[in-house]
Structure 1
Amino acid sequence: MVNTSKIQENYFIQLDGIRFVAVSLVLVDHWLAERNVIPLGVLGVTMFFVLSGFLITRILIQSKLKDEKTGRSPWFSVRQFIVRRSIRIFPIYYLTIFLCVIFNVPPVREQLIWCITYATNIYIALNQRWMGVIDHLWSLAVEEQYYLFFPYVILFLPKRYFLKIFFGMIALAVLLRLFLHLNHSDWMVQYVLMPTSLDAFGLGALMAYFFTFHKESTFKTLSKTMYLLISFGLYVSVLFYEKFGFENPHNIAYTVIERFFAALFCFFFIINAVTGYKGLAKVFFENGVVQYLGKISYGLYLYHNFVYNYYHTPQTSITLRILRKIHQYLPALADSFAFQFFYFSALTIFVATLSWFLIEKPVNSLKRYFNY
């Protein structure tokens, strides 16, 4: 059950716990791919998209209401949004790309224009192949492309169109994935493009709309645990269907249906965090370690592939050379599932912590100059 009587207005403490869960799912999927058969990475990325849809839409709606109240131009809010998002996202992203160029991390030099323009997802879709240790940047490209048009939708269109637009985004994504599937497009195309991800963003936007305009009715009703359990059951059912109902692993359930039900589960999962989980879930989501790792989740996501990726990390990488050195003295420990996960986690957290305190936190403090 959830506490629906204390919905926070400006900061949702448990959402850092959601970020921790989302990034953990991606890390497990990339680090332990040979042991894991559940699409945890897809679920983690989808969770980030739904969360972004909620937070970004809520910020933009608040800006729109402020614009209407004060009579200021929507362009003020557009500029404010762009500047604040740029401050948060660009510094460590472009620092990472710069270091990859300096140390010649493939394929960054060869595909530099795709990297610096946040278009790696388009490159993957066009060429139908991943990009090595930078393949995870596709989801950051999707988010950035989403930011290119969505602020104008909220800030310039009347509020009476919002629900139609959000439901339209959801329908468009599902229908577009279905169209691509029926036309035998490679599964990567459905997976990495921004328009095919709009159902997750649309569900997040719906959440923000209900929170802002129907908090004590629709939003409160949707936060009931029953809906969370039903959505989880539907998601698991789709996973079983795609696993055992088809010979081809990239079937219609995987390329078209799963993403929607993953987003639907994330919708209810996040709604309950906004209203506030109670009991053991509250203890978990508000735990200090979980909160901290949620705060640095952007860095964890950005850097984790450079620490290790089951599919792309060469045996000559320094992380694997260190692991082999440990294996020489403690073979049983180095070969264990738990130690390898701890080892990769510790390295990633260390790098992300340095990034947070030396770059992200100081730069983020500049955002206070761009408040209302």
Structure 2
Amino acid sequence: MSAKNTSYLKQLDGIRFIAVSLVLIDHWSDDRLKIPFGFLGVCIFFVLSGFLITRILLNAKDKDEALGRSHRFSLKQFYIRRTIRIFPVYYLSILMLYVLNVPPVREKIIWCLTYSTNIYIAIHQSWLGVIDHLWSLAVEEQFYLFFPFVVFFIPSRYLVRVLYGFIILSVALRFVLFLNNVAWMASYVLMPTCLDAFGMGGLLAYFFYHKNEKVKAFITNKLWLVLSIVVYAGVVGISKMISEEQNIITIVFLRLFESLLALFLVGNAAYNFGGMARFVLENKVAVYLGRISYGIYIYHNFIYNYYHSGPLHPTVRVLNKLPFIAHHLPLKFIFLYAVTVAAATVSWFLIEKPINQWKDKFGY
């Protein structure tokens, strides 16, 4: 298999930058925006994760088969590398919040330590304040627990069917939950109800890895990207016409159309956008911010969130002393983004980057 199929794809860091920025815009917008940018940003991350993880696992499977070894080696390598990349910053953040007695970390510490805050949210129909955004990391970890076994132990000729099955199953589960009047948060945060996003990313990885030229021509046809944007906007518009509250469109179908849009974004970036899009995704600022996007995502909610940062929160107190910034949304966003990037930069150079170098010892 060509090294090109598993090499670093620069524009995907630009996609990470876009995804994390959409989440930040949503959480910092003072409830003025009526477009679910946060939902879309998280969905882009899920599709991107499905793409990257599937690509890694397909490469590992081919190497195992070429060397005549069992998949136990690659399973161990995969989980070690994921642990090195994800756990340090996550658990350090949880530890600091626990020591500082930031609610509700102490009360929900077991849920935090076991990457199951999404399950808590679904069961109790309640967000978790400063740590509510960690639900998406829980979803990804739960996906990582079983998906390598799917790739390694299901014959390759059936993998595409399984990934299509993920998409169908996810939409069907959301529909069943809706029909049974289960709170919308369950449909949003449970891992099985997010599988359409991971499934689309996996399908893209499969065809990318195996150099399917027909799929490449389809994905890189900008007509489909434009159409996916128009359809997504239409779905959001229709949902608002039905109700400003959660409804069948937002609960059952929105993630499906978010995933389609993300599929074309990630796919075009994987095959390399040209023109202005290339400039946006490959400029040094976008690439750097995409590279540290994990830290940006984790820390942003601690720094500020319109929905749960109370009057005694340090950032709120600073903003109260800077009314010109506090009451000017674009300036407020720039200020908060700068603070968050500063925190993520310190984290990247002091914690993440040094620890990530250990992954080289467990390369494929």
TM-score (norm 2): 0.97
| Deviations, residues 137-173 of structure 1 (Å, cap 9, x unaligned) | 0000000000010000001111011011000000000
| Deviations, residues 94-119 of structure 1 (Å, cap 9, x unaligned) | 00000000000100000000000000
| Deviations, residues 164-221 of structure 1 (Å, cap 9, x unaligned) | 1000000000000000001111000100000000000000000001111243232233
**1:247 to partner: Cα distance:** 3.3
**1:33 to partner: Cα distance:** 3.8
Distance 2:173 2:9 in 1: 33
Distance 1:101 1:319 in 2: 19
Q: Is 1:292 matched with 2:284?
A: no
Q: Is 1:339 matched with 2:336?
A: no
Cα RMSD after superposing both structures:
1.1
Partner of 2:359: 367
Partner of 2:344: 352
Distance 1:58 1:40 in 2: 27
Change over 3 Å in CA distance of 1:221–1:248 after alignment to 2: closer
Partner of 2:252: 256
Distance 1:270 1:46 in 2: 11
* Counterpart code for 1:306: F
Partner of 2:10: 13
Partner of 1:303: 299
**1:306 to partner: Cα distance:** 0.5
Instruction: State whether residues 27 and 304 of structure 1, in contact with CA within 8 Å, keep that contact through their aligned partners in structure 2.
Output: yes
* Aligned pairs for 1:17-166 within 5 A: 17-166=14-163
Distance 1:107 1:311 in 2: 15
* Counterpart code for 1:133: V
Q: Is 1:278 matched with 2:265?
A: no
Identity %: 53
| Runs of 4+ with deviation above 4 angstroms | none
**1:371 to partner: Cα distance:** 1.0
| Deviations, residues 281-308 of structure 1 (Å, cap 9, x unaligned) | 1111111111110000000000000010
**1:277 to partner: Cα distance:** 0.9
Instruction: State whether residues 6 and 209 of structure 2, in contact with CA within 8 Å, keep that contact through their aligned partners in structure 1.
Output: no
* Counterpart code for 2:29: L
Q: Which runs of 5+ in 2 are unaligned?
A: none
Q: Is 1:319 matched with 2:315?
A: yes
Distance 1:184 1:94 in 2: 35
TM-score (norm 1): 0.95
Distance 1:363 1:32 in 2: 34
Q: Which runs of 5+ in 1 are unaligned?
A: 1-6
